[in-house]
Amino acid sequence: MNLQIFVNALVNAALIAPPAMAFSLLFGVLKFPNFAIGGYITLGAFAAYTFNVPLGLPLPLATLGAMLFTGFVVWLAHVWVFKPMQDQSAVTLLVVSIALTLILESVVRLFFSADVRGFDIPLERPWKFWGARITREQVEIIACAVVLATGLHVLLRHTRIGRAMRAVADNPMLAAIRGVDAAKITALTTVLCGAIFGLTGVFAGLDLVIEPLVGWNLTIPIFAAAILGGIGSPYGAILGALLLGLAEELTILVLPSTYKIAVGFVIIAIFLLLRPQGLFGTAEIKK
């Protein structure tokens, strides 16, 4: 077996796992698949680019700025768009979230042309070991993903806010009765997820390229990872991301790489049909 396939799959998984966890969290509180994440990721990538290249900030600072900026925009979207519409059906909200992605993408296109861009970082030779290659940025992405996943775990399991987040996702009414400010927790979750999407935008810019469609192209893999791991289960999302990364890399061996995006869809379809609760989710009781 070729080691490179596993390295690529691991990098892919590190890229997809954090937003898949965030998507899972967001689905827990908002109860609809939010396609706006594509727009948020694109926004994060371009915000970091603006801080990094035209303004000349070092990349870690630019990343922080991008996370804050994306978190703020996601909060605005929550207050102006999704909160007032919370009584609409899940499908209507889904259409609205796609519209939001199109809007954000077009705004980015207005300010930056559709040209492909990159961050201002020195080019380095990739490291080689046992015949596989990995770049410094890819190692950093993996390290950040591990830190982020651990951080989310600690937040959700061992803090008051995390417990409140899980309570609101589980049963908002009951949480409210027990004295949790559900609206505030929902807004907080939204902003936290927004910051993670902003960070994903930066990662995508490092590993892939910075272009307006970068977020849309990641949306389906993120959904696939979240559904594979069991929607609403942030830990399952990590395993989902690993399996998806591997499946995508293995497909390239037998099919033209342009079919890569179809892999995500096929996995989603198979899992939703055969095991809708995903690998780690609990079965939902249908009326």
Partner 1 sequence: MSAYLVSMATYAGFFIILALALNLQWGLTGMVNFGIAGFYALGAYTSGLLSAKAGWPLGMSIPMAIAAGFAAGGLVALLSMRLREDFLAIVTLGVGEVIRLVVLNEDQITEGPRGLRIEAQPFQSLIAPENYPVFYLGFVAFFVAITYWICERIRKAPMGRTLRAIREDDVVAGVLGKNVFRHRIQIFAIGGGFMGLAGALYAHYSQNISPEVFMPTVAMFIWMSVIVGGAGNNRGLLIGAGTVIMFLEGTRFFGDVLPWLDAETMSSVRIITIGLLLIVTLRLRPRGLLPEPKFTYTKDKIAG
Pairwise CA distance, residues 241 & 279, whole Å: 12
Q: What is the DSSP string of 108-144?
A: HHHHS-S--B--S----PPEEETTEEE-HHHHHHHHH
For position 102 contacting partner 1 by CB under 8 A, the verdict is yes
Two tokens, residue 200: 């994903």
Closer of 107 and 167 to partner 1 (Cβ): 107
Minimum distance, C-beta of residue 255 to partner 1, in the bound complex (Å): 9
- What Å distances lie between residue 22 and 233, 250, 278, CA to CA? 10, 26, 16
Subset of residues 63 to 82 that bind partner 1, contact rule: CB under 8 A:
81
Pairwise CA distance, residues 77 & 86, whole Å: 13
For position 85 contacting partner 1 by CB under 8 A, the verdict is yes
For position 115 contacting partner 1 by CB under 8 A, the verdict is no
Pairwise CA distance, residues 257 & 60, whole Å: 32
For position 252 contacting partner 1 by CB under 8 A, the verdict is no
Minimum distance, C-beta of residue 268 to partner 1, in the bound complex (Å): 6
Residues 14-43 as x/- pattern, contact with partner 1 by CB under 8 A: ------------------xx----------
Classify residue 270 by burial, with Cβ atoms within 10 Å: 0-12, 13-18, 19+: exposed
Alpha carbon distance, N-terminus to C-terminus of the chain? 47
For position 241 contacting partner 1 by CB under 8 A, the verdict is no
For position 227 contacting partner 1 by CB under 8 A, the verdict is yes
Q: Among 90, 116, 177, 283, indicate the residue that binds partner 1 (CB under 8 A).
A: 90
Q: Among 5, 57, 94, 187, indicate the residue that binds partner 1 (CB under 8 A).
A: 94
- What is the amino acid identity at position 251? T
Two tokens, residue 100: 């939001």
| Of 47-55, 87-95, 152-160, 241-249: span binding partner 1 (CB under 8 A) | 87-95
Tell the residue number behind the tokens 């020195």, with chain if given. Answer: 122
Closer of 27 and 203 to partner 1 (Cβ): 27
Tally helices (H) and strands (E) across the chain: 11, 2
Q: Among 92, 159, 171, 282, indicate the residue that binds partner 1 (CB under 8 A).
A: 92
Minimum distance, C-beta of residue 235 to partner 1, in the bound complex (Å): 21
Number of residues that bind partner 1 (CB under 8 A): 43
Q: Which of 4, 7, 10 is nearest to 244 (CA)?
A: 10
With both helix axes pointing from N to C terminus, report the angle between 90-111 and 214-229 in degrees, rounded to the nearest 10.
Answer: 150
For position 279 contacting partner 1 by CB under 8 A, the verdict is no
For position 103 contacting partner 1 by CB under 8 A, the verdict is yes
The residues that touch partner 1, with contacts defined as CB under 8 A, are 32-33, 81, 84-85, 87-92, 94-96, 98-100, 102-103, 105-107, 109-110, 113-114, 220, 223, 227, 256, 258-259, 261-262, 264-266, 268-269, 272-273, 276, 287
